Amino acid sequence: MDALDIIANLQYVVPYYQAIFSADEHRVIGYEVLGRYKTEDQVNSLGPFFHDETIPEEFRLEVDETVTKKALDHFLANGDEKLLIFLNRDANLLMLDRAESFLTLLFQYEEKGLALDRIVLEINEKHFRGNLDQLSHLLTYIRTYGIRVALDNIGEHSSNLERISLLAPDILKMDLRELRKTSASYSYQDVLYSISLLARKIGATLLYEDIEASFQLQYAWRNGGRYYQGYYLAEPKPELLPAEFLKERLRDECHQFIQQEKKKLQTLYNISEQFQQRLTALLAKHKKAIDFNELIATIANELGDVCFRVYVCDEDGFQRSANIFKRNNMWEIQPEYYMKNWSWRPYFLENIIRMRSRKRGILSDLYADIETGETIRTYSYPMDERHYLFIDLSYSYLFEQDAHY
């Protein structure tokens, strides 16, 4: 499409609306407004037009304003008064007049009855080339009117956590397209998990977008997503959908996710219980072991079918034994690990306190082992008030037990 043709025919510029669904109510809670160029023959996305920096800024601003006006008129005439309205803006263009034209337009619609707390300003921080501090101050000012801020395409390629934290968005839109690429899915999930932790720290709501399959919806549900968006749920439409459009389907799918998650948690609980009983019996049987190295060698031989590393730490994280490590199906002692301290590891001291108070072992989350790179879990067991046994479980065992995800 030629930019001059678009500017000369603004009557063909129209908004489309892509629904956003909630996890808690399974209903439509808002829409993202998307620009389209609609003729008698076809409908084309205006995304390439807005992203083309060779097109004059005033052209892009004029088309953006046309889409916004038509969309806000439509929401005032047809929409639920509580629906959120996501409006995309190029942060670079927004900074040209410090959002004055954007706010002036919204103030005009506020006089017509539009509550500004329904507006969500959506920007992409990775494409912003200006001073980030100035953008942060502008967004803070915009928020004083009740307008929320969403950062778009989080996780796409890479995301700078420091920039996200500085902008302190109300909503993070997490891009799930990469999950469809099998080769990148595990590393990408780690990136998304890190961002979700940041979202919790800064109090941002997670909106997972580009959901195009059931497994992506399940990932969003499992990983703290409050809002969902994507073609699997609803394509962009020229009209608004009924609020309860997918309520039954979403409820049914979420029920399946719940059942699967409960089954997974039961599996992990069963594994933990089995190790609790097995180690209680083993330690009672071998309580006369001369030292910790003798003890871990005995335990390694007894549990050789499920683990590849065993060691003992004290309550402060100092290793009180060597490592016993399985290499090429043979156990070897690694004395260099004696008296290394592991208290710096996430959750180490927290888990020590949990084991001490409950007098029970703990099965860890999945994580990548530093030495082998293998995805593993660790079972930790309280031997007494001061000493704790750590058993690293192999991926092959976890896979057999369906505890590898």
**φ, ψ of residue 209 in degrees (nearest 5):** -115, 175
Q: Is 286 helix (H, G, I), strand (E, B) or coil?
A: coil
> Can 3-232 and 260-400 be said to share one CATH topology?
no
List of residues 6+ apart from 191 with CB closer than 8 A: 155, 158, 159
Q: Look at residue 260 in the predicted model and tell me its pLDDT.
A: 95
Q: What is the pLDDT of residue 182?
A: 58
Contacts 24+ apart (CB under 8 A), 49-52: 49/1, 49/3, 49/6, 50/88, 50/90, 52/3
CATH class, domain 3-232, is alpha beta
Q: What are phi and psi of 173, to 5 degrees?
A: -95, 110
pLDDT of residue 157: 54
**Where do the DSSP E strands lie in 341-394?**
362-363, 367-368, 375-382, 387-393
**Spatial CB neighbours of 115, under 8 Å, sequence gap ≥ 6:** 81, 146
Low-confidence ranges of the chain (pLDDT < 50): none
Which residue bears the tokens 């994280």? 317
- The CATH class, in words, for 260-400 is alpha beta
pTM of the model: 0.88
Residue-level pLDDT at 287: 76
Q: Cα–Cα distance between 171 and 186 in angstroms, integer?
A: 24
**What pLDDT, in 10s, does the model give residues 74-89?**
999 986 889 999 999 9
Structure tokens at 14: 């129209």
Residue 81: the pLDDT is 87
Measured in Å, how far apart are the chain's first and last C-alpha atoms? 46
Provide the residue ranges of all domains of the chain, joining segments of one domain with +: 3-232, 260-400
CA neighbours closer than 13 Å in the CB half-sphere of residue 286: 20
Per-residue buried b or exposed e for 331-350, using 16+ beta carbons within 10 Å of the residue's own CB: beeeeebbeeeeeeeeebee
Strand-pair partners of 403: none
Q: Can you read off the two tokens belonging to residue 42?
A: 């076809």
pLDDT digits (tens, 9 = 90+) for 369-402: 888 888 899 999 999 989 999 999 999 999 998 8
Q: For residues 390 and 311, is the Cβ–Cβ distance under 8 A?
A: yes
Instruction: Please provide the average confidence, as pLDDT, over all residues in the chain.
Output: 92
Q: What are phi and psi of 142, to 5 degrees?
A: -60, -35
State the pLDDT at residue 159.
63
